Amino acid sequence: MEIDLMILLPLLAILYTVYYYLTKDNKYFHDKPIPSMAVQPLFGSSGRLMMKKTSFHEWIIEIYNKYPLVKVFGMHDFTAPVFVVRDPELIKRIGVKDFDYFVNHRPIFGTSEVTNSHSLFNKTLIALNDQKWRDMRATLSPAFTGSKMRQMFELVGECCENMVKFYKDEVRTKGGSQEHEMKNVFTRFANDVIATCAFGIKVDSLRNAENDFYENGRKMMMFQRPIVMAKVFGFRLAPKLMAWLGLDLFDREQNKYFTEIIKDTVRTRDAHGIVRHDMVNLLMQARKGALKNQKETKEEEEVKGFATVEESEVGRVQVGKGMEMSELEMVAQCLIFFLAGFDTVSTCLTFLAYELTVNREVQDKLYEEIRQTKESLGGGPLTYDAVQKMPYMDMVVSEGLRMWSPAPSTDRLCVRDYVVDDGENLKFTIDKGTAVFFPIAGLHHDPKYYPNPNKFDPERFSPENRDKINPSTYLPFGIGPRNCIGSRFALMEVKAIIYYMLMEFTFEKTSNTQIPLQLGKGFAGMRSEKGVHVELRPRKH
């Protein structure tokens, strides 16, 4: 009996400790003057999502609509309390005006200060905190100006032309038009763009489908794998333990592969004085403090797309001689460009292809603008300036990003106590260390801001209508100083490939085209349930 008690008492103590840890914040919102969602064991308020009852996109819309009359409500993400901000003015205040209270993203996927120092993800711009983030943002910001995009556009254009040639050759060899799953098509395209622009190497993921660069990238993006999901749970519930175990979100094999590419490229360029207009070159300049902010021309200011986000003063501040950026930090920045380009851009293009396929009148109108643009170029290759001067293209892409924002939400971490006071009847404190959610998909599908939100209607973003849109209700690239640094690059890439593809093909429905589109359920990313199947039918010029 004594032996049993000696075993039982420590076991009970351990169970109680675990229970306390998992439930200690369950009543966090009870003394706040805002409603809060019910809490379930372990999953918090996100049980439906974690049990794959709904998609992330639809879940964000669902919780956004749960409390239609409030500005803020509470929920629990796993065990952590989170404030969900619905009110555009409060989003602007938190994201822009009072940014210093919310300078960081919440620690997730091994990005907290306690994670292991060898983690590549921990060194990416998105994961850095406080002054380290400010320095890195200021160092990288000059690499993403309009003038730098113009220099890099030729590399993007080569990838576009290569892709179109591949599918035209396929028509000739196989005879007639072919059906394709568009996520696969655009993932390979985005892979090749990032390979050439961010890593300085040329790959052809269409003709060489299993090339090492694509395969390593694909493995890195397989967030649905059980081992990756286990790491996600681990980083969320026990980050110190994960750091002690020396674990990273990404496998060592992929980390090593991409690290070696950058190291070899930098060594070769330094040794032979090679200059190439790509991200590696810009990062090498940044390391030497030779990358400076340039004031954009009046023309560049006028032709930016609607979705392009402005760089804040944080990014415009010069940091003297530039950061002392290690090789590993350089690799990390290339890695985050890769992750964003590989998945976010291909996701945007996949859903845009779907909308163009099922909305033929939009596709035809966009083709007419493309045809006129090509005539204005005298039949020559597309240029960055020509892309920027296509108003209907910008309207179509902006609406695609509204309906199917690749990031359904974004977050901020409160770094010191912040008092919310709307001057009416709402006053409470967001405590230091608590996370804030901006429900992007919810805002984008709110009929108060976008009438008939489930209709794909590019006219919302026409020159006559765009002034009616509250900027704080349109957040495909986030808001404030921590917005997406690569919005120009992403939009340039999306518009360029749509131009080249629609110039040569029409997008046609097939018996496998799922209408209406159903989203894949679960936490990981925006994806369709059964793929987006489209026939690429050659145009008769």
Helices (H), 425-529: 440-444, 487-504
CA angle 520, 526, 528 (to 5 degrees): 40
Q: How far apart (Å, rounded) are the C-alpha atoms in residues 173 and 175?
A: 6
DSSP 61-104: HHHHHHSTT-SEEEEEETTEEEEEE--HHHHHIIIIITGGGS-B
Detail the DSSP E strand segments found in 361-409: none
Structure-token pair, residue 462:
């026409």
CA angle 34, 39, 45 (to 5 degrees): 85
Q: How far apart (Å, rounded) are the C-alpha atoms in residues 319 and 297?
A: 23
The residues, ordered by sequence, that sit 6+ positions from 406 with a Cβ below 8 Å of its Cβ are 343, 344, 347, 348, 476, 525, 526
The amino acid occupying position 311 is E
Task: Identify whether the C-beta of residue 63 lies closer than 8 Å to the C-beta of residue 38.
Answer: no
Detail the DSSP E strand segments found in 342-466: 410-413, 418-421, 427-430, 435-438
Closest CA to 148 of 377, 486, 483, 382: 486
Separation of first and last alpha carbons in the chain:
90
Coil, strand, or helix at residue 435? Answer: strand
Q: Is the peptide bond before 516 cis (omega within 30 degrees of 0)?
A: yes
Backbone angles phi, psi at 335, to 5 degrees: -65, -45
Q: How deeply is 494 buried, as exposed, middle or buried, from its count of CB atoms within 10 A (0-12, 13-18, 19+)?
A: buried
Q: Which helix or strand (DSSP H or E) is residue 244 part of?
A: helix 239-244
Task: Identify whether the C-beta of residue 405 lies closer than 8 Å to the C-beta of residue 441.
Answer: yes
Q: Is 159 assigned a ligand-binding role in the annotation?
A: no
Residue list, annotated binding site for heme:
484
Residue list, annotated binding site:
484
